[in-house]
Amino acid sequence: MTHSDLLNIAQNAPGPSYVYDASKIKHQYNRLENAFSGVKKLKINYACKALSNISVLKFLKSLGSGLDTVSHQEVLLGLEAGFTPENIIFTPNGVSLEEIETVAKMGVQINIDSLSILEQFGTKYPKIPVCIRINPHVMAGGNSNISVGHIDSKFGISIHQIPHVLRIVENTKMHINGVHMHTGSDILDIEVFLHASEILFSTALQFKDLSFVDFGSGFKVPYREGDIETNIEELGEKLTKRFKEFCKTYGRTLELAFEPGKFLVSEAGYFLSKVNAVKQTTSTVFAQIDSGFNHLIRPMLYNSFHQIINLTNPEGRERFYTVVGYICETDTFGSNRKIAEISEGDVLAFKNAGAYCMTMASNYNSRYRPAEYLWYQGEAHLIRKQETFEDLMQNQILIDFKEKVEA
């Protein structure tokens, strides 16, 4: 997919739009699969919270992916996309027992990260296989908002509480068929990840009827020119060797599972928006676009970096711009960025817009959520229409206020 392809999509779209390159998603999926080609049983479960459009889910299913979900609604989306319950894992946090029960009755693999819920579920449904999510107390990412394996995280059961888990299992006679960890996003240091893996292996040895070991994901992708990323090939080589040794110690070959989200879809995505105005102040040149954090909140929420390209004038003389939106609050996408000269009406493309972008969009300021396109086999396919005013009003109920009449 070229810059001219993106520009053509933007010029024919009704407003700001997301575009995803199917070939890049496939490339990343194959890359992960090849990195662990030495593993006899490998399962890749796409973390659909990153990008949950049903066409994207169906495309990943065609590649052989399973599905990692965090809500009952994501499970329903997965089923609509054609995933069988056996190929879906449910890894929620802080949800009710009732929601877990609902999903379990569908035949989906359950993953529990709370001692209380584990005991309640095991007491009621001892024959339903359950995976447990542990917290290895390892900081593998570089941001406290996306590193979820640290000691004070709300995610997972502490490794120091494994004796409690074993007591619950013994008392309820429940079946633990998997152990899971997720240390967080943007993993750079492979040795830290491998250290956390040793904790997971040690935990796994305490359960005798496992079918799989799930290492989560959080692999870093590049955001800038020359940016560093997780060396997935090196990780594959080292972890494959260690996993085989573990399986030999365990006494049989288990399935090695991952749940990548950002790794598969981040680089495949572009967010396209037009420039409404170029505004010069005393010290700043603002490029004001027809979007805001209602469409792309990551730069404001996580201070994340998205490279910005002027698709209309890609070879123009570079100048410094602060790119902002049209929301009635501060919504700065990038400050003092060097971008090819911008004029009103130009189309800007934000890179790395495939993960946690559209899925976090809202209707703030009563703005419409944008359209989505999948670039597949040399053609742009509309996979979500831009919302309309009717969509905003669909679930609202206007009540009749009658004036109080004095007697």
Whether 247 is a known active-site residue: answer: no
> For 176-222, what is each residue's pLDDT tens digit?
999 999 876 677 788 888 999 999 999 999 999 999 999 999 899 99
Q: Count of alpha carbons within 13 Å of 364, Cβ hemisphere only?
A: 16
Catalytic residue among 48, 131, 247, 328: 328
pLDDT at residue number 150:
47
Among residues of the chain, what percentage have pLDDT more than 70?
95
Domain 36-265: assigned CATH number:
3.20.20.10
Residue ranges matching CATH 3.20.20.10 in the chain: 36-265
CA dist., res. 204 & res. 179, Å (int): 6
Residue ranges matching CATH 2.40.37.10 in the chain: 269-384
Quote the Cα angle for 197-200-204, to 5°: 140
pLDDT above 70: residue 5? yes
As a whole number, mean pLDDT of residues 247-269 equals: 97
Assigned fold of 269-384: Lyase, Ornithine Decarboxylase; Chain A, domain 1 (2.40.37)
pLDDT at residue number 148:
45
CA dist., res. 15 & res. 126, Å (int): 52
CA dihedral sign, ordered 311, 313, 318, 323: negative
Lowest model confidence (mean pLDDT) among 11-20, 150-159, 369-378: 150-159
**With a threshold of 0.85, does the pTM exceed it?**
yes
CA dist., res. 208 & res. 192, Å (int): 27
